[in-house]
A and B are shown apart, each in its own frame.
Chain A
Amino acid sequence: MTTDKVLMKGNEAFAEAAIRGGARMYFGYPITPQSEVPEYMSRELPKHGGYFVQAESELGAINMAYGAGAAGGTVFISSSSPGIALMQEGMSFLCSAEVPLLAMNVSRGGPGIGGIQPGQADYYQVTRGGGNGDYRIPVFAPSSIQEAVDLLYEGTELAQQWRNPIMILADGMIGQMMEPVRLPEFKPVPKPNEIAGIRDWACTGYNDRGGDHNRRVVKSLRMKPEDLEAHVEKLFEKYARAEKELCRYETENLKGAEVVLVAFGTTARICREACEVLAEQGIKAGLIRPISLWPFPNKAFDEIDFGATKAVVSVELSMGQMITDVKLALNGRLPAFLAHRTGGMVPTSLEVAARAKAVLEGLK
């Protein structure tokens, strides 16, 4: 049974959603602005027969997650920007070894230690991969706590289905604010001795597999280049399917829009208000909200009313990272401009509207 609406802080709702989604393993290290997630997990996971481990570092946490995932556990981890940076070694390994993981970045301003206020400057990190080698991680960016809860709940299954890390990117604003949410029902969780039968690749020891003495090895090493090439090609067949099946977005008011704003997460909420501000000034503005950042929703840009729209504005809490993908999606069909704040600063809807208006005036 789903719950009635309850008022929850983002970070606590994220943790609860992961538990309800079946995650029983959480490995974490304190970092602002997501420390309520490990705190919640330390308190709540043992009540559900799960394990919380406070790791010695984010390196420790991601590698515990790798081990638990390789053993067939349903694993959730979370961190914030510099911590996610430390985990990139593990992300590369998880992708290569095809180990499922649900991960969350409650991101803040950078670079370096940066600050603790909300940021979206991890866009390249999460969509391009901060680790070594050819790999991809599907990334979803919720713009409300409810959407984050729904994505996390689904994410435990997506990770198993795709045998790959799934990343939820919520900026610090969504982690720290409170909103009413409806929590989904608890998913069933396999017992340790049931894992071998359900996850037919997981390390369990062959006693759990009846008479099957074929051992299971979870690894990324391939010494022969022809083997490694074949393995990476196989991974990319999977990623090609993911590009089709995991592409998600929303569009609003594209028909007849003079200007189209593109924004994800917190910024999308600001843009919705900016569109209203522009409408009051007689300017019709539309919105494209990517939900999946990788795969980037290129097809959303085909829905633009090219007869009416004069410019596209990428609105970001960074110096402009998503705009690279916006330009690729537009493929020269329209000019793309940037509206941004960075370092933990968040623009108001009036600032965004003013920038969009200035862009249109500059084109006259």
Chain B
Amino acid sequence: MKPIFEYTKGMTDVPTHYCPGCTHGIAHRIIMEVLEEMGELGNTIGVAPIGCSVTAHEYMNVDMCEAAHGRAPAVASGIRRVHPDKVVFTYQGDGDLASIGTGEIVHAAVRGEKFSTFFINNGIYGMTGGQMAPTTLIGQKSTTSQDGRKKELNGMPVKMSEMLASIDGAAYVERVALDSPAHIRQAKKAVRRAFEIQKKGLGFTLVEFLSTCPTNWGLPPVKALEWVRNNVMAYYPLGVIKEPKEEEQA
């Protein structure tokens, strides 16, 4: 019998440590499926962050380098200089990218670095136990905003994708979600587009994934997906925020 579907060679067979209902596994898989489909697994160097996905390098079946908290874009910039013809990506959560690593991600975009960043936004610090992130929604409870995030105390949740899209060196920025099969298919298309634009050398590319953290949100997995649909998307709308002009893509 001819198989009609196989687990991607882009993932190792190591069981992930992610909590039930966490969407990291989906994000990992679609990124690695795209690399396999593009025939780039042997031509790719990835950078893992600090946070829940600190062990992404155990699951993603490509050469990987682990970065200090927030520094993945600087690490990827260094890798890119040594290997100008490889596919390079960073995988970063919201604490990593939107808080401690803001300097590194902003200036990677400013330099128009030719790597792709996959930004996992679940609005909370997962690994350290559910503290408030820069992307935690107003009113959302966390262990460091126990009465819910307040604008006057913590400011509004930061919109990193919109901010980065305003930088000339950013070629492509899209926000996707992992809450439904349709959105996951869209997310996979966005990943592919990011890699293709990277390979064309058009500039910095970023895909933001609206993700879940059932454990630290205190919600069952299905309710967590509903929370993304009903609350997170209202503040963080899906869609392409920036893309290259058609003539550049041609």
CA distance A90 to B68 in the complex (A): 8
| B13 at interface by CB-CB < 8 Å | no
| A300 at interface by CB-CB < 8 Å | no
- Stretch from B80-88, B144-152, B188-196 forming part of the interface with A: B80-88
Chain A contact residues, majority secondary structure: mixed
| B231 at interface by CB-CB < 8 Å | no
| A261 at interface by CB-CB < 8 Å | no
- Compute the total of residue contacts between A and B using a CB distance below 8 Å: 139
How far is the CB of B139 from the nearest CB of chain A, in Å?
33
Contact B76 A67 (CB under 8 A): yes
How far is the CB of B231 from the nearest CB of chain A, in Å?
33
How far is the CB of A335 from the nearest CB of chain B, in Å?
44
Number of interface residues of B (CB under 8 A): 40
How far is the CB of A37 from the nearest CB of chain B, in Å?
18
CA distance A312 to B133 in the complex (A): 56
Contact B65 A71 (CB under 8 A): yes
Number of interface residues of A (CB under 8 A): 42
How far is the CB of A182 from the nearest CB of chain B, in Å?
30
How far is the CB of B19 from the nearest CB of chain A, in Å?
16
| A354 at interface by CB-CB < 8 Å | no
CA distance A69 to B45 in the complex (A): 13
Contact A203 B64 (CB under 8 A): yes
Q: Which residues from chain A contact B57 at a C-beta distance below 8 Å?
A: 217, 219
Contact A64 B77 (CB under 8 A): yes
Contact B74 A59 (CB under 8 A): yes
Contact A63 B82 (CB under 8 A): no
| B75 at interface by CB-CB < 8 Å | yes
Contact B43 A73 (CB under 8 A): no
| B79 at interface by CB-CB < 8 Å | yes
How far is the CB of B60 from the nearest CB of chain A, in Å?
9
| A204 at interface by CB-CB < 8 Å | yes
- On whether A70 and B75 interact (CB within 8 A), knowing A213-B42, A217-B64, the answer reads yes
- On whether A63 and B43 interact (CB within 8 A), knowing A51-B81, A203-B65, A205-B86, the answer reads no
Which interface residue of A75, A203, A221 has the most chain B CB atoms within 10 A? A203
- On whether A97 and B83 interact (CB within 8 A), knowing A66-B78, A221-B54, the answer reads no
| B44 at interface by CB-CB < 8 Å | yes
CA distance A204 to B86 in the complex (A): 8
How far is the CB of B78 from the nearest CB of chain A, in Å?
3
- On whether A219 and B61 interact (CB within 8 A), knowing A63-B75, A64-B74, A72-B82, the answer reads no
| B244 at interface by CB-CB < 8 Å | no
CA distance A322 to B28 in the complex (A): 50
- 18 further contact pairs, Cβ within 8 A, besides A67-B65, A205-B63, A215-B61: A56-B106, A59-B104, A60-B107, A63-B78, A67-B67, A67-B75, A68-B81, A71-B83, A73-B81, A204-B83, A205-B44, A206-B41, A206-B63, A207-B43, A215-B63, A219-B48, A219-B64, A221-B55
| A-B contacts, 21 listed (Cβ < 8 Å) | A56-B104, A60-B104, A60-B107, A64-B81, A65-B78, A66-B65, A71-B83, A73-B81, A73-B82, A93-B68, A192-B85, A203-B65, A203-B79, A205-B42, A205-B44, A206-B42, A215-B64, A217-B65, A217-B66, A218-B66, A223-B55
Leading 3 A-B pairs by shortest Cβ distance: A67-B78, A68-B78, A67-B75
Q: Which residues of A contact B (CB under 8 A)?
A: 25, 27, 51, 53, 55-57, 59-61, 63-73, 75, 89-90, 93, 97, 192, 195, 203-207, 213, 215-221, 223
